[in-house]
Amino acid sequence: MRPQAPVRGRVASTVAMVATVTQLTPRMTRVRLVDDSLVGLAAIPGQTLKIYVPDLVSELPVSRDYTVRDYTLDDDGARPRLDIDVVLHGEGPVADWARRVRPGETLEFVGPSGRYRPDPQADWHLFAGDETALPAIQAYVAMLPANACALAYLEVADAAEEQPIPGVARPTVCWLHRGDRAPGTTTLLDDALRAVALPPGQGRIWLAGHTPTVRRIRAHLLNERAIDRQTLYVKGFWDRRPR
Ligand SMILES: Cc1cc2nc3c(=O)[nH]c(=O)nc-3n(C[C@H](O)[C@H](O)[C@H](O)COP(=O)(O)OP(=O)(O)OC[C@H]3O[C@@H](n4cnc5c(N)ncnc54)[C@H](O)[C@@H]3O)c2cc1C
């Protein structure tokens, strides 16, 4: 039986122990939770968790959305483990927390939520986003069969931020490097998606990341490429906000 869960508003939350903290790339840290409290969570990679961390400025807990990168049994085969991959983007409560969190500390979250899955009937799949979208894109590509036709466009800082896209599908992956430019200030994704030749047949497009960027691209796809809105999933993941 799961232990009594604390409550956030009217929703039960989960508190789980941080087992490991791993630097995946210079700007991406994996926080792995391993805990009996994760038993029965029924999380599916690609779903969303609302995680709670302290804001060092206000000293109040704040919540942010993060993707379930993986949910499986831990190596001992006894307890579940759940991974979230956090972009170390600069200053922000979660980015700050991910830099200082250590094994043995706990993380509270609500969820998982979200029903998006790659459509197994689709003729092709196009995934696009910045590094905040990478954990979800990795999770969705891993769900595709070996014969799937998949393309992925990913804007990251540089080659050191490129990560494997695991699974049996062999997507065509195009990494877009913003270099010294700040995230959210380029048109790399816009330009790439304007230029892409979409495969024939009925496809699905999944797009997430910097909110104004993905909104611009959504408008382009709907208005200039006449993409059927039913085949398009677009989600703003972050935007500039004052601290
Ligand atoms: C459904 C969903 C799933 C998500 N999954 C992931 C995930 O798996 N991994 C992940 O790293 N992020 C993910 N995000 C994005 C993440 O929630 C935001 O980046 C979040 O704002 C970071 O919180 P923070 O406390 O670090 O900074 P905030 O307090 O939110 O922001 C502080 C400052 O940093 C800026 N900022 C925030 N994020 C970024 C960024 N990525 N790059 C540059 N500047 C930024 C803000 O504009 C603000 O100026 C997801 C978002 C959504 C909606």
Number of domains making up the chain: 2
Residue nearest to atom 44 of ligand 1 (CA): 89
The CATH number of the domain holding residue 65 is 2.40.30.10
Which pLDDT value is given to residue 12?
86
- Position 188 pLDDT exceeds 80: yes
Region 62-77: mean pLDDT is: 93
- Ligand 1 centroid from CA 194, angstroms: 25
Domain that includes residue 45, residue range: 7-113
Give the domain-ending residue among 113, 137, 164.
Answer: 113
Region 106-128: mean pLDDT is: 96
Residue nearest to atom 18 of ligand 1 (CA): 238
Do 139 and 204 sit in the same domain of this protein? yes
CB of 65 within 6 A of ligand 1: the answer is yes
Which pLDDT value is given to residue 10?
64
Do 11 and 70 sit in the same domain of this protein? yes
Give the domain-ending residue among 67, 84, 113.
Answer: 113
Which pLDDT value is given to residue 7?
64
Q: What is the mean pLDDT of the chain?
A: 94
Closest CA to 83 of 136, 162, 157, 5: 136
CB of 112 within 6 A of ligand 1: the answer is no
CB of 52 within 6 A of ligand 1: the answer is no
For residue 161, is it left (φ>0), alpha (ψ between -120 and 50) or beta?
A: alpha
Region 10-35: mean pLDDT is: 95
Quickly state the pLDDT bin for 144 (edges 50, 70, 90).
very high
CB of 48 within 6 A of ligand 1: the answer is yes
Structure tokens at 72: 């499986």
Lowest mean pLDDT among 2-11, 106-115, 149-158: 2-11
Do 94 and 131 sit in the same domain of this protein? no
